[in-house]
Structure 1
Amino acid sequence: MKQRIFGITGWKNSGKTTLTCKLVEEFTRRGFSVATLKHAHHLFDVDQEGTDSHRHRKAGAAEVAIVSGNRWALMHELGEQGEPSMQDMLARLSPCDLVLIEGYKREDHPKIEVRRKAALDQSPLPDTGASIRAIAADHDIAEAHVPVFSLDDINGIADMIALETGLGETAA
């Protein structure tokens, strides 16, 4: 079965993470299993200084897995390697009904553009590949060539994503 993916993209502070979380909650409520893939443009660390796993990485371990009764995580240091592609990262995810991708605005996958008045940049994203299927905004959008949703219309946005990806209304 082909992996179902849909993106949530927009400029910094546009509300991507909030919308992603609300969509995860909605699709989970509908009975679907959902994974997320988030792109970060900055240095980030999921490990805290002083923890054993942080010490392992700082000592030079290329990968560190940390496991408990509640969760596990695998950290991979890239070193001199380039950033893995979105497709490479999607291939690493466990099977699920839907993958929501936050960020990756320049990749050519179906996505919704999030626009908020409080965003640092309010200009429309360039969409040379016609991958933006809809816009979710907290204000009126004068000219749009795709459907426009209110940022609060989580059901409507989820329905559009389910239709676009062939997911269906509820899990079987």
Structure 2
Amino acid sequence: MEKAIDSPFPVLGIAAWSGTGKTTLLAQLLPRLREVGLRVGVIKHAHHSFDVDQPGKDSYQLRKAGAEPMLIASRERFALMQETPDQEEPDLAYLVSMMAYHAPDLVIVEGFKTWPIPKLVLYREGIGDDSIMSGDWVQAVALSGSSPESLSPTVKRLDLNNSEAITQWVLEWLSAQPNSTTS
């Protein structure tokens, strides 16, 4: 078994095939977790190039001109952009370490299916294959439809369409973590 990411706070992966509803579920979970007083950071994996600023804006021009990193800030928010042209895939351990300064109670990682972190797997029949539900790091599976017989008996089964039950599972999982501030 691979070693988990060393972190001062719990890290939970949300793994699923594209189109399963990861972002939709997170948009339902995050307000509920905030209501109970949790600070939750999110790291989202993108499989494509993206820009958070637009061509023609000063920050875009400065980043394209070679600023490494480029930080833009206002009284409402800030964004730090770092070019990584020679990197094949983002280093999740490094990204998690960048969250430490913010001292979240939990960091949820959307994507990064192959990284050795505890995972809540989302699965809809007909989207991808069910191999995503196996592995040493799978803690729970939220399914739409019946559960495959191959699912380990130690893995918690949840209803993908019941975001309240999934929220409750996340809270229970979080309180059982040794580095949790909620235990």
TM-score normalised by structure 2 residue count: 0.82
Deviates more, 1:107-116 or 1:79-88: 79-88
Superposition deviation, residue 82 in structure 1: 5.2
Partner of 2:144: 138
Partner of 1:61: 67
Superposition deviation, residue 12 in structure 1: 1.1
Partner of 2:80: 74
Separation (CA, whole Å) in 2 of partners of 1:3 and 1:124 = 28
Separation (CA, whole Å) in 2 of partners of 1:84 and 1:116 = 27
Q: What is the identity, as a one-letter code, of the residue corresponding to 1:148?
A: R
Q: What is the identity, as a one-letter code, of the residue corresponding to 1:8?
A: I
Q: What is the identity, as a one-letter code, of the residue corresponding to 1:41?
A: H
Separation (CA, whole Å) in 1 of partners of 2:133 and 2:145 = 19
Separation (CA, whole Å) in 2 of partners of 1:132 and 1:125 = 9
Q: What is the identity, as a one-letter code, of the residue corresponding to 1:113?
A: V
Residue 17 in structure 1 maps to residue 23 in structure 2: yes
Would you identify which runs of 4 or more consecutive aligned residues in structure 1 move more than 6 Å? none
Separation (CA, whole Å) in 2 of partners of 1:102 and 1:7 = 6
Partner of 2:168: 159
Separation (CA, whole Å) in 2 of partners of 1:46 and 1:53 = 10
Q: Which runs of 5+ in 2 are unaligned?
A: 1-6
TM-score normalised by structure 1 residue count: 0.87
Partner of 2:44: 38
Equivalent residue in structure 1 for 2:120, among 104, 112, 118: 112
Deviations 1:88-139 (Å, cap 9, x if unpaired)?
A: 10110111111111001101111111112463x14331634x1111111222
Separation (CA, whole Å) in 2 of partners of 1:60 and 1:167 = 45
Relative to structure 1, the CA distance from residue 27 to residue 126 in structure 2 (aligned partners, 3 Å threshold; closer, same or farther) is: closer
Task: Report if the CA contact (8 A) 1:14-1:114 is conserved.
Answer: yes
1:55 partner SS: helix
Q: What is the identity, as a one-letter code, of the residue corresponding to 2:130?
A: S
Task: Report if the CA contact (8 A) 2:133-2:141 is conserved.
Answer: no
Superposition deviation, residue 50 in structure 1: 1.4
